Structure 1
Amino acid sequence: MLKPSIITAAFNAASTIEAALRSVASQTHPDVEHLVIDGGSNDGTQAIVTSHSQRVSTFFSEPDRGIYDAMNKGLMRASGDFIGFLNADDVYAHADVLNRVAQTMEQQNLDVLYGDVAFYRSDEPGKIVRRYSSARFRPDRIAWGWMPAHPGLFVKRDLFLKTGPFRTDFRIAGDFEFVARLFLQQNPRYLYLPEVLVNMSLGGVSTGGWRSTVLLNKEVLRACRDNGIQTNMLKILSKYPVKVLEHLRK
């Protein structure tokens, strides 16, 4: 069976990271590599990760240049057949997620597999307030700002190496820019899995209010232009009515 490498980038995540660690440790897949890359936390995050050292394959803590720098450090050390990213305040939707992803990718000879993400509020973890459906993504919709939900995206490691690392000059849309490069340059074999794979906490850098939204859209526009994708801000903003419906259909 294909081996997953799961990378968790963390910084001052003491209040949430234990749930993420337990979520990976509880997966039914027999051979999960979990890499935790900490940005030099000072709130006890390091002690919590160390207490789970039997199930964490790689852990180190040092200052970094942001989340995409941390992700790149994880990519350099990952040895699995495919890569996934689980944020320090997110959890897998159930214990069989990675097993299901590995089996599907192997059976269908896929380069990329992606599914949905459900959002919850940190004070009400059992209440889903929005479902991000990755079904709407197609490579020809990148110009409209669409991408698969990043925590629900799994990519073969050799394709990551061919595509190159995340760009660290992006604050929020580095994952979008990578997806644009990946699908434009590699023409991967991909599949959408129509189910929730990750439960994601609201309030992260990409869901942190209108200032984050403005920055995200500016960076999405720059990512498209840097990769030769013709678009404009009106195209990118046109996806928001659909996002409103996600709240209503949760």
Structure 2
Amino acid sequence: MKVSLITPVYNDPRIERCLKSIHEQEGKFELEHVIVDSNSTDQTVEILDAHRDDIDILIREDDDGVYDAMNKGVRAATGDIIGILNSDDRYQNQTVLESVHRTMKETESRACYGDLVYVGEDDSVVRYWEGGEYEPWKFYLGWMPPHPTFFVHRSVYEEIGYFNQQLSIAADYEFMLRALALHDISVSYINDVLVRMEIGGQSNESVASMVEAVSDMYEAWQYHGKMGRFVAPFLHPLEKVPQYFRKPPKDDV
């Protein structure tokens, strides 16, 4: 099975580290990297040009936000398994994609996810997001898998649709809610850290962003007429608290 990775970017030179992380991946699978650049105007342009041979599909055009860029990337991808890695994120080690490929092949799951660590500018671990085994009721208590570790078969997008661009911050949450809780697609949990994410992120940057994220999550539940909207969005911030105290395995620090 071919693995396609989508990376949306706009004016973020850190994409060079992301590119290195992706193209150091080892394993017996075909890899495709799709980058959607929203017409960057800084050093990002030179970095992408310098690594052009490593980029299978490069889309350079204006878009209507990060989820529009992700949707463009997913539609352009030709792989069987699709994952999304943002320009400021990177994989934990060189065997992450092999682990994903093997898990989805052996279990015949249509999705998989793993753990994630947040790191500071010095690359030290600040938070450890342990995905844990999936249970449908967890969504009602504010749980969600770490989206950068979430991989799905391309047929899932074709069947249930793409990212909801009406949601400015939590469209990734809504997509996973739709896929797992509403459409009950088969999913496997990989009990390993898959991604290192630099502190920040669109829904983590400020109190205002956190409030907007909760509002988007409420709207995500409302789209589907589910009662979880009265509980899950407001419990979600509490889900983050243990991440500051939980310690990752020593090999993943």
Query: What is the TM-score when the length of structure 1 is the normalising length?
Result: 0.94
How far did residue 57 of structure 1 move? 0.5
Q: Deviations over 1:69-127 (max 9, x none)?
A: 00000011111111000000000000000011101110111101100110011x211x0
Equivalent position of 2:184 in the other structure: 187
Aligned length: 246
Equivalent position of 1:135 in the other structure: 132
1:236, 1:19 → 2: CA distance?
33
Q: Which amino acid is 1:44 matched to?
A: Q
Equivalent position of 1:150 in the other structure: 147
Task: Please tell me whether residue 204 in structure 1 is matched to residue 191 in structure 2.
Answer: no
Point out the more displaced range, 239-248 or 112-121.
239-248
Equivalent position of 2:250 in the other structure: none
SS at match of 1:21: helix
SS at match of 1:206: coil
CA contact (8 A) 1:145 1:220 kept: no
2:72, 2:184 → 1: CA distance?
25
Equivalent position of 1:24 in the other structure: 22
2:221, 2:133 → 1: CA distance?
18
SS at match of 1:117: strand
Q: CA RMSD in A?
A: 1.5
Equivalent position of 2:89 in the other structure: 90
Q: Which amino acid is 1:61 matched to?
A: R
Distance verdict in 2 for CA 1:232–1:80, change over 3 Å:
closer
1:101, 1:234 → 2: CA distance?
32
Distance verdict in 2 for CA 1:96–1:225, change over 3 Å:
same
Equivalent position of 1:106 in the other structure: 105
How far did residue 41 of structure 1 move? 0.8
Q: Which amino acid is 1:23 matched to?
A: S
1:144, 1:220 → 2: CA distance?
12
1:130, 1:69 → 2: CA distance?
29
CA contact (8 A) 1:6 1:84 kept: yes
1:50, 1:195 → 2: CA distance?
33
CA contact (8 A) 1:13 1:88 kept: yes
Equivalent position of 1:117 in the other structure: 116
SS at match of 1:245: helix
SS at match of 2:194: strand
Percent identical pairs in the alignment equals 33
Return the match for 1:168 from 165, 189, 193: 165
Task: Please tell me whether residue 216 in structure 1 is matched to residue 213 in structure 2.
Answer: yes
CA contact (8 A) 2:149 2:195 kept: yes
Q: Which amino acid is 2:149 matched to?
A: G
Q: Deviations over 1:123-143 (max 9, x none)?
A: 211x00001111165332223
Distance verdict in 2 for CA 1:226–1:42, change over 3 Å:
same
CA contact (8 A) 1:137 1:146 kept: no
